[in-house]
Amino acid sequence: MYKNKLPDGRNNICGENVRRLRQGMPEKTSQRKLADLLQMQGLDIDKNAVQRMESGQRFVTDIELKALADVFHISCDELLQGSGSD
């Protein structure tokens, strides 16, 4: 049987890392500001989508993953590491 959710019910692996990285940015970065940064990368995304992404309620596409990695200046692999990849 195929799984498209983590055992804890989350729809993505990277959400916790997105929140951690956003909160760790040198300049205070709100979910709205992160959405603005992602829009500058060409994504049509808003603050609510970022909130759902961070909480694990939203699936994250590979295009979004790449844009997130670019904003945080890390690799896509780094966004996927952590407790969700077990």
How far apart CA 68 and CA 62 sit, in angstroms, is: 10
Model pLDDT, residue 85: 41
Q: What's the Cα-to-Cα distance from 18 to each of 2, 6, 15, 49, 77, rounded to whole Å?
A: 25, 17, 5, 12, 13
- When computed from its CA atoms, the radius of gyration of the chain, rounded to whole angstroms, is 12
How far apart CA 32 and CA 17 sit, in angstroms, is: 17
How far apart CA 17 and CA 1 sit, in angstroms, is: 27
Model pLDDT, residue 82: 73
Q: Which residue has the tokens 């590979």?
A: 62
Q: For every one of its 86 residues, what pLDDT tens digit does the chain have, with 9 covering 90 and above? A: 677 888 888 999 999 999 999 999 988 999 999 999 999 999 999 999 999 999 999 999 999 999 999 999 999 999 999 754 44
pTM of the model: 0.87
